[in-house]
Copies of this chain bind each other. A is one copy, B any other.
Amino acid sequence: MIAKTMTEMVKNSSAIRAMFEEGKRLAQQYGAENVYDFSLGNPNVPAPKEVKEAIGEILGTEDSLMVHGYMSNSGYEDVREAVAASLNKRFQTNFSGKNILMTVGAAGGLNVILKTLLNPGDEVLTFAPYFGEYRAYTANFGGILREVKPDTETFQPNLAEFERMLSPKTKAVIVNTPNNPTGVVYSEQTILRMAEILRSKQKEFGTAIYLISDEPYRELVYDGVKVPWLTKYYENTIVGYSFSKSLSLPGERIGYLVIPDEAEDSELIINAANVANRILGYVNAPSLFQRVVAKCLDAKADVAYYDRNRTALYEGLKKAGFSCIKPEGAFYLFVKSPVEDESVFCDMAKKYNLLLVPGSSFACPGFVRLAYCVSYETIINSLPKFEELGRECGLI
């Protein structure tokens, strides 16, 4: 009796749950310390101390009715102003509070902006490999997600194919940089060329094509890499942000959208996104955590922790004969499967209690994703297992 669209979704979801359950089963059988679960993108660095301090300060000094009460659907005005000021300082932009809409995480923000923009049948382009939820979010509003095939050498967007796939039906393009699942940061050169293509196609079609930049990993970068701030490269850019990773608050569902004045029909989009936030049932981003993040805009999770994991795992994998790009951001490594069907490889890995996610989940078969937001001990203890696995695959 459930909705037809949900039947397929439940089936896919069962596969993910099955993997999750398998992890729990293995932990029970072998002991949690002997299972190396690289399948979940759940931060394992605690929230910075500023979060707890901010909560204490807010509850100690602000009125309960204000802290826990309704506000404008777009969020507290002072919080939105604080976010705008912080972005302006970091990226030399000119946002004000009205350009910021506080959202229930980045997932909430993406749904709000897609609800705002999409008519049924509109196309949304994204670059494989990509976070599989984009497909569901687009389908929520009758949109059609089309994927640009990956460049598996660099994992930079395949812009030649992108240019061919843009059409008068393209309403939006979703990019995710630093990228889940590859950890790659799209280069400034990539972004410049992408903007050039988009502008030229807008002109050719007489349409507006919105670039939606999903940026939960913005602060998780290594080796001093810079992540271009996209509104400066392309006018019709809308940014979706989440504090899930930067402040290790994934359960709190707090993020924001940036809708710049330069975007076509900016005012209309701002108004409609405010309404969409309400009618999609979010109503507003959780109130206490709006006030918390406004006090923690300069705080950061311990990126050095992830960096140490990254280096140890990358070096260990290379030593075991595997090949992958050294990620510059996020907390994922995307490893080439040494056997053609990567789900077979995942099953082989499971025999060593190594839990990996098949690249097919990200529209990129032939690869597997490892989330290294785990303890350093897990990394170190897993390395001999990867060596055994590499040996079994004939890599060393």
**CB of A287 within 8 Å of the partner chain:** yes
Find chain B residues with CB under 8 A from A283 CB: 104-105, 107, 253
A252, CB-defined interface residue at 8 Å: yes
* Separation of A111 and B3 alpha carbons in the complex (Å): 13
> In the bound complex, how far is the Cα of B115 from the Cα of A222, in angstroms?
40
List the B residue with the shortest CB-CB distance to A243: B68
The range of chain A's interface size is 35 or more
CA distance A6 to B288 in the complex (A): 29
Tell me, in angstroms, the Cα distance from A265 to B7 when the chains sit together: 13
A4 to B120, CA, bound (A): 10
Q: Within the complex, which residue of B69, B140, B268, B288 is in contact with A10, where a contact is CB–CB below 8 Å?
A: B268
Q: Is the CB of A52 closer than 8 A to any CB of chain B?
A: yes
Of A83-91, A226-234, A274-282, A349-357, the one with at least 4 CB within 8 A of chain B: A274-282
Considering the chains assembled together, what is the distance between the CA atoms of A256 and B111 in angstroms? Answer: 21
User: Do A6 and B115 have beta carbons less than 8 Å apart?
Assistant: yes
Contact A1 B251 (CB under 8 A): no
B47 near A286: Cβ-Cβ < 8 Å: no
From B252, B275, B282, A108 is in contact (CB under 8 Å) with: B282
A28 within 8 A of B: no
> Counting chain B CB atoms within 10 Å of each CB, which of A6, A104, A108 scores highest?
A6
Q: Which residues of B contact A70 (CB under 8 A)?
A: 40, 42, 250-251
Contact among B5, B276, B281 for A6, CB-based, below 8 A: B276
- Bound CA span A271–B116, Å: 28
For this complex, 15 residue pairs linking A to B, each with C-beta atoms less than 8 Å apart, are: A6-B116, A10-B271, A43-B65, A46-B64, A67-B251, A69-B250, A104-B104, A104-B253, A133-B278, A137-B279, A251-B284, A252-B287, A253-B282, A253-B284, A253-B285
Q: Which residues of A come within 8 Å of B, CB atoms?
A: 1-7, 9-10, 13-14, 40, 42-44, 46-47, 51-52, 55-56, 59, 63-65, 67-71, 104-105, 107-112, 115-119, 133, 136-137, 140-141, 208, 248-253, 264-265, 268-269, 271-272, 274-276, 278-289
